[in-house]
Amino acid sequence: MAIIRKILGLLILFFNWVFTPRGIKRDADIQATIDEQTGKLALYQYAACPFCVKVRRAMKRQSLNIETRDVKRCNTAREQLLAGGGDLKVPCLRIEDKDGSVNWMYESSDIINYLESNFVAPVRTTTTA
Ligand SMILES: N[C@@H](CCC(=O)N[C@@H](CS)C(=O)NCC(=O)O)C(=O)O
């Protein structure tokens, strides 16, 4: 069972590598502002988790530079997740608000929705007179 899981994990990583999405390009000043905001976020995850891959791909598509903390390799990250989020489940996004309060968001789809609604650039529309 462990071997099958290992093989599946390697396949996920391989296909993720082959089909790595392209990140969007922003003006440097806009990207710097977004980097400052995403500096307050951290994704607790591990490499071969398919739900974590889904979130990392969404981050890559939107060129969101978010620190990732591997709960399989790093005991500190694992303890932080358990103490803060309450559940040893990944992915989990740690969100530090401006006032210093911290929220822990589980569920890959919720995390992606949060990222897309907070950091995706508005679509430019042109109007004709
Ligand atoms: N519905 C969740 C599924 C997450 C999930 O099942 N993650 C697995 C790793 S791939 C996990 O952390 N399992 C441990 C547990 O459920 O306690 C999501 O979309 O984020």
Residue ranges per structural domain of the chain: 41-120
Integer Rg of the chain from CA? 16
- pLDDT for the residue numbered 123: 47
Phi/psi at 12 (5° precision): -60, -45
- pLDDT for the residue numbered 58: 97
* Ligand 1, residues at Cβ distance < 6 Å: 49-51, 88-91, 107-109
Distance (angstroms) between ligand 1 centre and the Cα of 61 equals 22
Distance CA 28, CA 34 (A): 10
Residues of the chain with pLDDT below 50 are 123-125
Q: Which CATH architecture has domain 41-120?
A: 3-Layer(aba) Sandwich (3.40)
- pLDDT for the residue numbered 47: 94
Distance (angstroms) between ligand 1 centre and the Cα of 42 equals 17
pTM assigned to the model: 0.90
